[in-house]
Chains A and B, each alone.
Chain A
Amino acid sequence: MASLIHCPHCGVRPKEEFSIRGDASLIRPDPEASDEAWNDYVHIRSNPRGRYREHWQHVAGCRRWLVVERDTFTHEVFAVTDAASSAREAGR
């Protein structure tokens, strides 16, 4: 876990200001999608060692949802971006 997170809106802030939700690669399926797709989305989680994209919220700051790309083993943080921008780029 990183000690300091570079919030794209607020700058470098201590990690205690953030809350973590989990895997940011999950995309909410279409309501008509298969049972498997929904089961995967709601219940199945991987626990990778290495590079990982997570949803963090700056709850004690700007309250924006962020995508934190980090290494679960070395704890290095590669990038922190606004989740809405990422979602729009992904076509949502």
Chain B
Amino acid sequence: MTAYRLASGGLIDRSAPLDFRFDGRNLTGFSGDTLASALLANDQLLVGRSFKYHRPRGIVTAGPSEPNALVTIGKGADSDPNTKATVAELYSGLDAHSQNRFPSLKYDFGAVNGLLSPFLGAGFYYKTFMWPAAFWEKVYEPIIRKAAGLGRAVLERDPQAYEKCWAHCDLLVIGSGPTGLMAALTAGRAGLRVILADEDFRLGGSLLGETARVNDASAQDFTETVLAELRSLPNVTMMPRTTVFGWYDDNVFGAVERVQKHVALPQAKLPVERLWRIAAKRALLATGAEERPLVFGGNDRPGVIMAGAMRTYANRFGVAAGKSVAIFTNGSAGYRTAADLAAHGVEIAAIIDSRAEGADVAPDGVRVIRSASVIDTKGRQRVCGAVVERSGFEQTIACDAIAMSGGWNPVIHLACQRGAKAIWSEDLKTFLAPDVGNGLVVAGAAAGRYTLAGCLKDGAEKAVVIAADLGFSTVSHTAPAVEGEIDPSFTALWYSPGAKAKAFVDFQNDVHVKDIGLALREGFGHVEHAKRYTTNGMATDQGKLSGINATGLLAAMQGISPADVGTTTFRPFYTPVAFGALAGTSRDEHAAPVRKSPLHGWAQRNGAVFVDSGLWFRPAYFSRGGEKTWRESTDREVRNIRENAGLCDVSTLGKIEVFGPDAAEFLNRLYCNPFLKLPVGKARYGLMLREDGMVYDDGTTSRLSHEHFVMTTTTALAGGVMSHMEYCAQVHWPDLKVRFCSSTDQWAQMAIAGPKARLVLQALVEDDISDAAFPFLAAGAVTLRGGLKARLFRISFSGELAYELAVPAGLGEAVADAVMEEGMAHGICAYGLEALNVLRIEKGHVTHAEFAGRVTPDDAGFGRMVSAQKPDFIGKRLSTRYGLTAADRMQMVGLKPVEPDQHIRAGAHLLREGAKPSTLNDQGYVSSACFSPTLGHDIALAFLKSGRERYGERVVVWDKLAGAEVVAEICNPVFVDPGNTKLNS
């Protein structure tokens, strides 16, 4: 037993013990602990196995940069892989598991990879698994993936709830350490709307583990005083447990708030995480600085911990990482850790200082070895000694933990996420953020001002400037006085020479110094290339500890300045964000809105089987007793409509009301066929083209009065056509006096088709709808029995005598019920999309299966509709170009199998008899196909080269997917009633 809980001290509640589990062991911590501090208190230092070599790894940091202590918290669907133990707040019942080990953390088979490490250098996978190519996907990758990798994402549905919110403020302060606190306080006092966000569950940042005194009080008491005042300010919102992970355009920040990640049983009424988008007029980046690890032999052995982290564990959590600690440092910070640990009664085995001299004072009786370095560490699953080299002499110093301190890296990620490149400071031997404008100001240690007094002052001063910029006046306050100030000085040491074991740069991805050297030798010396070649910085910690050291090493190896090497690119997210939080409530049935027709209930009552059609639910067919397949129902519906009558819900078609003195002119320019002289009370089929001459959409448009038209669009393009019309009206022809609005949702519309359609309708409509009074393509207002005003259109998709009746949406079901009731005597049935489709194929009518984007009006047989007289319409000019009028274009034809029992499927290609299937021999394709109950065999619509000249010829319908070849006869695409006698009856 070496790591242990100190007898006193720390911001933990010793009266509130918390039981938790790690790899099945029952352990106890205290309220205020992180999982990592509680594990340390239980001497559980070994927490994971490394990615590639499966080396034992222990806790290294006390914060979000942790590369090793990644655990899975929870079980089954409710588990969170790759959770950093160093930021996971301890709660009673927390159940954590280590990762990447088999069968157990202590005895891991994968560790054999460590023996193979001479062969597993950088680029190993690229070089070794190149041949044979087909092996990569099937053999190599699955094996590598099984051996490597960290936590496993579960396949079960995440049972937790998430939500997304917007927040707005004058000033967003990111980080609640000394800089952030003073900034928030200054701005809050001035009346700014302030949000203070910090990823920690307890606000205060570095002050929580600080032994320096502020304003004659402990740093912790000072923090409490400031927080109490901030809480009293109604204009200040404090957001602990909130990681600001990204900085986006227009000063919008992304943040994730862990609302219920620290409880065993989340309340159902609250989300577990909340994704915030914070629109901030200004923001202050007060994220502090990260301690830089030292790169020395054996530096990955469990027990080697950042010096600052060890200090935090001792001061904030009351945990000693060891009983006898050796400290390896290149600056004053190591001495500060030594002093604090000694004050807690921890033995300091030695301070190994890479510098030749320094003014730092070691605790009484502690040996200081100058100009020395650690070249190896002893021990297996935890360190038991440090091998120290000085002037060619080696000695082993017994210890059970090693604190390392390599200087400071300001946490500038957010400031560099929008393209700005970090700038090397020769003075501070680190990278700083450049000036990124006044939207985001970097302050305190994040700006390289490391002293406590400097941070307190910088935060306050920068908040004063921001407040003044935004028009707020501030009251000046004297800066807090600091006693026992921090000395942040250090001498850069990128690599501790003479290593006798692997010196790791990236702990999580197992990248060591030799890998960086290899990348350089093999031509991957650019910092971005070296990253990809070695995977340094590509793990879940994204190089928070390793990035700057890799840059320093690349520079040192080439004898150039780190300024000339630069950093890799900083991108959101600062720390990983769960997909659940990004999805928010947009999942399952909330992923997309569900649109239900006003006749949905009617369809349900009539036995509809629904099908998704975009956002709509539409009846596919109406199943009746005894019918076992969709085909049985569909065939019955089709036959019944050809013989009697049917009712189909067509409410989903887009409906757009067009008004104004120029309404006719506007439609005339939108459609390729003429609309200017459409008489009032008439409907007309219209074809809309794209500007390139291809068909865009079709539908009927009716003139209800001189200045009022109602247009219909296809269901799929209802939204697109509306935007297209808005573009044309606002951008092309802003002078036209026309206004329009969608009325799709306002009308319930039903098609009533079949030879008995008029008989059924006449019983309900008070107006005369005889063929003489209301002929084919008549359209207008009618009054239904009882006085309801409705719209009636005599249009037909099925080829039968047919009407479309539109009534206000709320009355749709009642009217449909009435139609069905009146129709019962005439044998009416409800019919769905499948029957609708069969009926229109039999009649040779087109849909978007035909108008697939490469079809001109002439291709589909509508060549004569295109007006030659109109001076202009959308698509006119490019319709006449050569390629669109060529004689060998694919034209729409009908197909029927020569053997009537054979089947044709949509998507099949057409070949001349005897021709080999090839792109060159391709004659066309089948766009729609079905079984025709009317004819008793399959029929199809197809596009075939020069098709209209080839009626009577035979083609091979080649269906690779179905493995079928069927000989079919080319015919007129109108299979049923080509003379339109039924339509006009």
Contact = CB atoms under 8 A, between A and B. Distances in A.
A42 B871 contact: no
Contact of A88 (B692, B734, B877): B734
A33 B871 CA distance: 12
Interface in B249-269: 249-250, 252
Contacts of B872: 31
Nearest to B742: A63
Contacts of B881: 35
B314 to A, nearest CB: 43
Contact of B249 (A3, A29, A55, A57): A3
Contacts of A38: 877-878
A42 B876 CA distance: 12
B878 A3 contact: no
Contacts of A79: none
Contacts of A2: 249-250
B7 to A, nearest CB: 52
Contact of A57 (B166, B250, B723, B877): B723
Query: DSSP class of A's interface residues: helix, strand, loop or mixed?
Result: mixed
A4 B252 contact: yes
Query: DSSP class of B's interface residues: helix, strand, loop or mixed?
Result: mixed
Given A4-B279, A38-B878, A92 B732 contact: yes
A83 B872 CA distance: 22
Interface residues of A, number: 30
Nearest to A2: B249
A35 B878 CA distance: 9
Given A2-B249, A57-B723, A65 B730 contact: yes
Interface in A18-68: 19, 21, 28-29, 31, 33, 35, 38, 41-43, 55, 57, 59, 63-65
A48 B166 CA distance: 33
A6 to B, nearest CB: 9
Contacts of A4: 249-250, 252, 279
Contact of A92 (B248, B692, B733, B876): B733
B735 interface: yes
A31 B248 contact: no
A31 B877 contact: yes
A38 B692 CA distance: 9
Contact of B252 (A3, A31, A41): A3
A26 B781 CA distance: 42
Given A31-B877, A92-B735, A3 B730 contact: no
Looking at A3, A57, A75, A82, which has the most chain B CB atoms within 10 Å of its CB? A3
B665 interface: no
Interface string B234-252: 0000000000000011101
Interface string B924-954: 0000000000000000000000000000000
B691 interface: yes
A52 to B, nearest CB: 15
Contacts of B877: 29, 31, 33, 38
Contact of B734 (A41, A75, A77, A92): A92
B304 to A, nearest CB: 42
Contacts of A84: 730-731, 734
A83 B731 CA distance: 6
A38 B884 CA distance: 15
Interface in B722-752: 723, 726-727, 730-735
Given A2-B249, A4-B252, A42-B691, A55 B726 contact: no
Nearest to B872: A31
Looking at B727, B734, B881, which has the most chain A CB atoms within 10 Å of its CB? B734
Contact of A1 (B249, B692, B726): B249
A64 B878 CA distance: 28
A87 B733 CA distance: 8
A57 B730 CA distance: 11
Interface residues of B, number: 25
Contacts of B248: 3
Contacts of B166: 14
Interface in B261-284: 277, 279
Contact of A55 (B252, B727, B871, B876): B727
Nearest to B692: A42
A43 B878 CA distance: 11
Looking at A28, A29, A43, A57, which has the most chain B CB atoms within 10 Å of its CB? A28
Nearest to A37: B877
B723 A19 contact: yes
A61 to B, nearest CB: 12
Contacts of A43: 692
Looking at B252, B730, B732, which has the most chain A CB atoms within 10 Å of its CB? B730
Nearest to B722: A63
Contacts of A75: 249, 418
B727 A65 contact: yes
A87 B876 contact: no
A65 B732 contact: no
A57 B881 CA distance: 31
Contacts of B277: 3, 14
Contacts of B250: 2-4, 77
A11 to B, nearest CB: 12
A63 B732 contact: no
A2 B418 CA distance: 12
A72 B248 CA distance: 15
Contacts of B726: 57, 63-65
Nearest to B741: A63
B727 A57 contact: yes
Contact of B730 (A41, A42, A87): A87
Nearest to A66: B730
Contact of A31 (B692, B723, B734, B871): B871
Contacts of B252: 3-4
B192 to A, nearest CB: 19
Contacts of A55: 727, 731
Interface string A7-19: 0000000100001
A84 B279 CA distance: 30
B554 to A, nearest CB: 28
Contacts of B723: 19, 57, 59, 63
A42 B881 CA distance: 13
A3 B247 CA distance: 10
Looking at B277, B877, B878, B881, which has the most chain A CB atoms within 10 Å of its CB? B877
A28 B876 CA distance: 12
Contacts of A59: 723
Nearest to B723: A57
Interface in B867-900: 871-872, 876-878, 881
Given A2-B250, A3-B248, A4-B279, A83 B730 contact: yes
Given A4-B250, A84-B731, 18 more contacts: A29-B877, A31-B871, A31-B872, A35-B881, A55-B727, A59-B723, A63-B723, A63-B726, A64-B730, A65-B726, A65-B727, A65-B731, A75-B249, A75-B418, A83-B731, A84-B734, A87-B730, A87-B732
Interface of A: 1-4, 14, 19, 21, 28-29, 31, 33, 35, 38, 41-43, 55, 57, 59, 63-65, 75, 77, 82-84, 87-88, 92
6 contacts: A1-B249, A4-B249, A28-B732, A31-B877, A33-B877, A92-B733
Please name the 8 residue pairs, one residue from A and one from B, whose CB atoms are nearest each other, closest first. A3-B252, A84-B734, A4-B250, A31-B872, A84-B730, A3-B250, A3-B249, A65-B730
